Structure 1
């Protein structure tokens, strides 16, 4: 499923409804780590500490590797696929992450979704996306830039919040498209992008973005039932915006 936004976790926590986010795969039966409110075992933005008898280490490329009695023996009648993910006793999850000094695990991306710019720098899009989605102005975002000179983003604004902001600033529009082409709106969202960029290296920062005039939903096929981005379809639908970003 999609990652829980830290902003939402804080909102629920403030309301007295702590959400204990965890992590695992079907192949790990299905838990690797989980937050636990007891004994200071809860950290917002992480998926908790590993459960008993489970070992996690981070490979040189950032991939999360797991070993323990929870890991499957293999895929049924598929020795080749099993050999791809079970190596030297560790299950290769396909997720990129990090362990902090307190032992909390943080998921940063899917290995297959990382991309390399034309300058040879690797970018983890989910890390940028999750940071930008902490903004109340941004509902969905997809970072792009594979093989391009720089990372950029396609952004679906939070239309309801944006309309409230516009009213407070005595701005009125004849429809969503007019609102999204107003330079004042673009500048305001640029502030949110700049804020999100602060903690990233120069080559990772989103240099440009374009706003999409319609929502990304499960019904229109742009999100999976678990709210993950269907990246290829989003890029295809907004191909003209993508090309405009890179001056083509």
Structure 2
């Protein structure tokens, strides 16, 4: 059987794993299993339902919703019908949804619920090509009547009816897809202008799922937790494409507020998260341990030192001496075993951070407590992975080596260039941007980095984010920001200083830990704004900044900082859906605050 397109690979797995658990979701407090054969049936009927509505090969279908089985049915059903999925972040505004639906020329749109439907209804007069919106969850829409709107259930019924008339149509249409056909249209976050639609082919995705296993072995016995936006290529890879390739089980969170609880319940073997999640877990552990008994604190800190020593020995020698390994096993059992169980990390064998840079200190910390965290570096335009730490060969401070089959080189100006079967087809309806990004087959990443003699890649910063001070010194803000974010009291930091005499920073406090600190020290406050402006909290953050300054060269030290008096979020426009700071937007929005520090 063919396995050279996403739908043919999926059909092959459905046949291979028919009665095994593919997906799991929680309903009314109980985890419900969805078998591969059920998964396959639902994808088939969504596909046939779209064909019945008139979807033609190569047409784009937009999709918006939180992580749930129906999202996957829709995604794969679109591709099986010969269509191209263009997913939209649930946090997008009506105007942002309008841009993607209009730009992609979608005739069909799939929305999760009433909230997401409302966004389209508000801008429908600007979308003359949009013919039908299909709603997955019709709660609150029982008496809603609009010829443009239909339920997901009715779409499935359309598919069943079409199968009765044409029983071979699904496999016929599915097999018409060619590896070089576009499978996905992924719109970038648009931090520097309107989002661009990156076109990824079936061949791009299928090749990547095979190549990644050479670096990160995945098995059909693995379990993952799906909670990051499926609109992002990284989560899509782990929850959809790699799961199809290797047959493991995907568990969906109940909602964004239950991630930590669901993590403990599922206890996944593979856990993928963005740096902000890993930073949050480490700061939570640090604060919890600070509240423990004296004996527990002593055991934890001693075990952490032993873990750090073992990590250093492994990184420098390749392995630790036998005696050290025995001491570490005792430390893991006495201090870290229960800790990992309480967090849901007790079965994790692959821990992965991606979608943004992570501090080497955070990586070192997790290795010390027995969680082998590694980075994957890449971008949408190369299906997610460019480089990764291969096997157990983890070199902290780098993002590993090129994924087998991918080439990496450094341009004269330091930019990282990538070539391989995973590199995208270009930007939809944007030849200028395509020609700027793809030159002679090389993807210009926009990142600056270095390759060592063994091919390990170190990321310096985003090319456009590098700071050149008034004194002409080149500074990579990312390194300083990562050091600041390692503090349990700092959630985010933006270093400022381009064209300036010295560096300053905008800091967002870690609300949970700072609130706890304020309560423990009887510091009065009523709101987040009160907390951020409090003199004692400013003194706390000053201490944390000074700790980082001691590790930096004089020109890299933070001379002044301001604490944000409000939370940064996606709705406010400061963060991307993967929780990366929109630096340019913040520089413009907080211009007066920045100027007050100079």
Task: Normalising by structure 1, report the TM-score.
Answer: 0.81
What is residue 194 of structure 1 aligned with on the other side? 546
Deviations along 1:36-95, one digit per CA (max 9) or x if unpaired, are 4x3x32244432211223332333433212234444565577665444334566432111
Matches within 5 A, 1:86-125: 86-87=438-439, 90-100=442-452, 102-125=454-477
Larger Rg: 2
Choose from 502, 509, 524 the match for 1:157: 509
**Which of structures 1 and 2 has the larger relative contact order (alpha carbons within 8 angstroms, sep 6+)?**
1
Shift in alpha-carbon separation, 1:198–1:66, aligned structure 2, 3 A? farther
**Would you say the 8 A contact 2:416–2:447 is kept in 1?**
yes
CA distance in 2, matches of 1:244, 1:9: 35
Q: Which runs of 5+ in 2 are unaligned?
A: 1-354
CA distance in 2, matches of 1:198, 1:97: 25
CA distance in 1, matches of 2:519, 2:428: 58
**Would you say the 8 A contact 2:405–2:420 is kept in 1?**
yes
**Would you say the 8 A contact 1:223–1:230 is kept in 2?**
yes
CA distance in 2, matches of 1:183, 1:31: 44
**Would you say the 8 A contact 2:416–2:449 is kept in 1?**
yes
Q: Which runs of 5+ in 1 are unaligned?
A: none
Q: Is 1:3 paired with 2:357? A: yes
Deviations along 1:124-151, one digit per CA (max 9) or x if unpaired, are 2222212211111100111112222222
CA distance in 2, matches of 1:214, 1:90: 41
Deviation at 1:30, TM superposition (A): 4.0
CA distance in 2, matches of 1:137, 1:100: 34
Q: What is the number of residues matched between the two proteins?
A: 244
What is residue 385 of structure 2 aligned with on the other side? 31
What is residue 262 of structure 2 aligned with on the other side? none
Q: Is 1:206 paired with 2:206? A: no
**Would you say the 8 A contact 1:41–1:49 is kept in 2?**
no
Deviation at 1:211, TM superposition (A): 0.6
Choose from 227, 230, 237 the match for 2:579: 227
CA distance in 2, matches of 1:100, 1:137: 34
Choose from 489, 498, 501 the match for 1:146: 498
Task: Normalising by structure 2, report the TM-score.
Answer: 0.37
Deviation at 1:203, TM superposition (A): 2.5
CA distance in 2, matches of 1:182, 1:67: 51
Deviation at 1:123, TM superposition (A): 2.5
**Would you say the 8 A contact 2:415–2:445 is kept in 1?**
yes
Shift in alpha-carbon separation, 1:224–1:46, aligned structure 2, 3 A? same
Shift in alpha-carbon separation, 1:21–1:79, aligned structure 2, 3 A? same
Deviation at 1:161, TM superposition (A): 0.9
CA distance in 1, matches of 2:570, 2:552: 30
Aligned Cα root-mean-square deviation (Å): 3.0
What is residue 21 of structure 1 aligned with on the other side? 375
**Would you say the 8 A contact 2:361–2:483 is kept in 1?**
no
Q: Is 1:180 paired with 2:532? A: yes
Shift in alpha-carbon separation, 1:55–1:239, aligned structure 2, 3 A? same
CA distance in 2, matches of 1:170, 1:211: 20
CA distance in 1, matches of 2:597, 2:433: 39
Deviations along 1:175-220, one digit per CA (max 9) or x if unpaired, are 4444433443223212222222344433232211001111111122
Shift in alpha-carbon separation, 1:6–1:203, aligned structure 2, 3 A? closer
3-state SS in 2 of match to 1:207: strand
Deviations along 1:21-43, one digit per CA (max 9) or x if unpaired, are 2122333344211124x3x3224
CA distance in 1, matches of 2:487, 2:562: 16
